[in-house]
Structure 1
Amino acid sequence: MTSELISSQEGICPVTGARASGMSRTLTPTGDPAWLATGYHLVRELFVEPNLGRSHPNPETASRMGESAFFGGPVGNFASERADHLRMKSLLQPHFSVRRMREFQPRVEAITARLIDDMAAQGSAADLHTALAVPLPLLVICELLGVPYEDQDRFREWVSAVGNVSDRAKAEWGVGELFEYCRQSVQRKRRDPGDDVTSRLCADPELSEQEIATFAMMLLFAGHETSVVHIGVGVLMLLAEPSLWRTLHENPALLPTATEELLRACEPTNLPRYARTDLDVRGVRVAAGDLVLLGLTSANHDPTVFTEPSRVDFTRQEGTHFTFGYGARYCIGAPLARIELQAAFGQLVSRFPDMRLAVDKETLIMRDEVFTGGLHTLPVRW
């Protein structure tokens, strides 16, 4: 973040731009004013602050992060946001519980193995992004929701459109297409239910077709897009430091902690929140309606919590990263994402002990057109 984006106030660090309070003024990519919250402890406090939310009483005038439909600005009904969020979690969380995901783990492992077999059969070079990072989460979420994987090309196009940060018309088109697809899927499931999350939601007489379609749309988007990003970025971190790849190959028992460390070491997007009332945040006045960005990268790399935070340490025991959120806003899909990441990392290092990048790391292009980020390609050799 450049110093030009930080307002001139007393107590601001000339290097980081952060106030002693951890709150600093900034501008979003759209040029809108916002507060940036930095540091592990402040971000944790604000995650559980009841007067910060995702909705806004006047969404058309609210500061925005971009044009993305789900992430660019306010979402939800201001009057009922808290109740709506609790209802959503109570309905969806049981379908993604740790127990359910452990039962589903052998299936994820089998899907991963098949994709890696297909990749290996093509020769000693591949684009890991298209061979594994994209299809694995897609296959998994399609199976969980009971939608045909054959429609994956359409899903990817719509999901990319939904996450677009610069073209609002494209983002709105993506939402419309994705919602209509899910609405038709709900209608089919009500006529012919199966053993999947969508069918189980359809069995609830209190849920409307629109509600179930909205839930399915959210799951289809979030249930694979973030895993695509983390598989690609995680593998890149492992390959960019060959000693990490060797360590995990020689010590497979480190896989769970290695996965958490790779999640911590990544650079997640700042999370937007809107002040529901005037707030005093460590002596800084945040006005009702102000946009507050929770600086996840800052929190996950806070040197007061993580020793040598820039170093990837698979034996690290200190702190808990916020990549999946915290408190009531903790991601319900985190257990599934962990299973997918561990399957991908574990099978790759086991199967390909000598895998390496096929291009210079500096030549890789990140996806800056969508808010989730990630890689366009990940060429590898073995």
Structure 2
Amino acid sequence: MTSEPLTVPFTRTSLFDPPQEILDLRAERPIARVRFMDGREGWLVTRRSTIREVLADPRFSARQELRNSAFATTTDIPPARPGQFISMDPPDHTRYRHLLAGQFTVRRMRRLAAHIEEIAEEHLDRMAAAEPPVDLVLAYAAPIPALVISDLLGVPRDYRERFTQEIVGMSRVDASPEEKVQAQANVAGYLGELVRRKRAEPADDLLGGLLSDSDLTDEEVTNIGFLLLGGGFDTTANVLGLGVLALLLDPAQIPVITDPETVENAVEELLRYLPIAPGTVRAALEDVEIEGVRVRAGESVMVSIPEGNRDPGRFADPDTLDLTRSAAGHISFGHGVHQCIGQQLARVELRVGFPALFRRFPTLRLAVPPEEVPLRDDMVIYGVRELPVTWSAR
């Protein structure tokens, strides 16, 4: 067995499986030495139980200035700006998280279901009126979460379409670096303006609630809004896009996700199976022993979420998509104090989006061979760049 560190990120060789290099580690080395893009060495954890252990251990820090980046070459990363709570540790993280928890209640998210259904049906109407084939990403998978998060933040209707285009622009794979930076600046600038308007004229939405229920500054609320956009749009859009591709390649499972009795569990299985996010990184604040290996203070540990979700110790035949299995216990939303605060919103969007699509278009199919579907395999968030689909007229 070689002691040479593996290099992060890994090369993807399969539509739906984690990179083979990570799969090979499952039995051999549940914690392995890796070299990050900035040249520094750290560790990779692939076993589900150990991933949960790392994410729940306060001896591992989420502070971005302390940890390596798995996808950047720079080593000079500044501390999180006010409001960027996902890159903070308690007690700062706890303060922001507590304030947001009151805005992301399960009851509030479920009340959004009817509105999400309206958004989905509106876009399905547009698809039906179009001449197939269409790109499902642009026509359906991307607009739904973009509009939903815009509504949640209280973006006025007269600006919503433009705002949605800017959000999509932040994650376009065909955009130049300059175009992406400009889209991010446009979104951040508008969010700042929106927060100032809501400070002067309180509104019954998430940003308005944060402003009225706390002593947060405009800068803090603006940065929180920007974080929520990133977490609430790109991941959900790619679960929808890649999930539809998986189902079109295995259409016998589509009735499971269109059945109201089984859709919730089917969505959990898709969340488990689809390797949308590669994982996250933590920095050891002190020496910690993991799986018999001593991680030194200051070293970074990357946890592989896709591989944890394929752990045969938790899921039988884990590399197979089976919408009838119980996928309870997957870690797609993380674990511990940093577990995704918007997970209930994502679940509602997916429970609406998948069945609505296949009910409206029961003959939906790929318009190109599977190997010609362009993938986002050069992006941190994995998915499909485009998904050309067609259907038969009734």
1:249-328 equivalent positions in 2, closer than 5 A: 249=258, 251-267=259-275, 268-317=277-326, 319-328=328-337
Q: How many Å separate the matches in 2 of 1:74 and 1:94?
A: 29
Where does residue 10 of structure 1 map in the other structure? none
Change (3 A) 1:175 1:288: farther
Q: How many Å separate the matches in 2 of 1:27 and 1:375?
A: 27
Q: How many Å separate the matches in 1 of 2:251 and 2:353?
A: 17
Where does residue 121 of structure 2 map in the other structure? 113
Where does residue 59 of structure 2 map in the other structure? 51
Q: How many Å separate the matches in 1 of 2:61 and 2:79?
A: 9
Where does residue 76 of structure 1 map in the other structure? 80
In the alignment, structure 2 segments of 5+ residues that lack a partner are 8-20
**Structure 1 residue 6 and structure 2 residue 6: aligned?**
yes
Cα offset, 1:301, TM superposition: 0.6
**SS of residue paired to 2:261:** helix
CA contact (8 A) 1:367 1:375 kept: yes
Residues 116-155 of structure 1: per-residue CA shift (max 9 Å, x gap): 1111111342111001111000110101101131322222
Change (3 A) 1:81 1:92: same
Cα offset, 1:253, TM superposition: 2.0
CA contact (8 A) 2:166 2:186 kept: no
**Structure 1 residue 206 and structure 2 residue 215: aligned?**
yes
**SS of residue paired to 1:272:** strand
Q: How many Å separate the matches in 1 of 2:265 and 2:26?
A: 31
Residues 266-308 of structure 1: per-residue CA shift (max 9 Å, x gap): 1131211111222111221111121111111111011121111
**Structure 1 residue 33 and structure 2 residue 41: aligned?**
yes
Q: How many Å separate the matches in 1 of 2:169 and 2:39?
A: 27
Where does residue 108 of structure 2 map in the other structure? 100
Q: How many Å separate the matches in 2 of 1:144 and 1:14?
A: 37
CA contact (8 A) 1:40 1:299 kept: yes
Cα offset, 1:354, TM superposition: 1.5
Cα offset, 1:107, TM superposition: 0.6
CA contact (8 A) 1:55 1:74 kept: no
Cα offset, 1:246, TM superposition: 4.2
Pick which of 82-91 and 191-200 moved more: 191-200
Where does residue 343 of structure 1 map in the other structure? 352
In the alignment, structure 1 segments of 5+ residues that lack a partner are 8-12
Where does residue 65 of structure 1 map in the other structure? 70
Q: How many Å separate the matches in 2 of 1:346 and 1:336?
A: 16
**Structure 1 residue 231 and structure 2 residue 240: aligned?**
yes
**SS of residue paired to 2:24:** coil
Where does residue 13 of structure 2 map in the other structure? none
Change (3 A) 1:32 1:361: farther
**Structure 1 residue 244 and structure 2 residue 256: aligned?**
no
1:130 to 132, 138, 147: 138
Where does residue 376 of structure 2 map in the other structure? 367
CA contact (8 A) 1:144 1:196 kept: yes
Q: How many Å separate the matches in 2 of 1:202 and 1:14?
A: 44
Change (3 A) 1:157 1:180: same
CA RMSD of aligned residues (A): 3.0
CA contact (8 A) 1:269 1:296 kept: yes
Q: Which residue type is aligned with residue 153 of structure 1?
A: Q
Cα offset, 1:373, TM superposition: 2.2
Q: How many Å separate the matches in 1 of 2:139 and 2:24?
A: 39
Q: How many Å separate the matches in 2 of 1:41 and 1:100?
A: 32
Cα offset, 1:317, TM superposition: 2.1
Change (3 A) 1:205 1:308: closer
Change (3 A) 1:213 1:16: same
Q: How many Å separate the matches in 2 of 1:331 and 1:92?
A: 11
Where does residue 142 of structure 1 map in the other structure? 150
Change (3 A) 1:270 1:75: farther
2:205 to 185, 196, 200: 196
Change (3 A) 1:205 1:277: same
CA contact (8 A) 2:278 2:381 kept: yes
Change (3 A) 1:170 1:84: farther
Q: How many Å separate the matches in 2 of 1:82 and 1:242?
A: 45
Q: How many Å separate the matches in 2 of 1:362 and 1:29?
A: 29
Q: How many Å separate the matches in 2 of 1:372 and 1:107?
A: 26
Q: How many Å separate the matches in 2 of 1:110 and 1:3?
A: 55
Q: Which residue type is aligned with residue 355 of structure 2?
A: G
Where does residue 16 of structure 2 map in the other structure? none
Cα offset, 1:3, TM superposition: 9.2
Cα offset, 1:232, TM superposition: 0.6
Q: Which residue type is aligned with residue 154 of structure 1?
A: E
Residues 10-65 of structure 1: per-residue CA shift (max 9 Å, x gap): xxx99824675621011234544221101111111112111112215x55xx5321
Change (3 A) 1:178 1:245: same
Q: How many Å separate the matches in 1 of 2:235 and 2:73?
A: 15
**SS of residue paired to 2:44:** strand
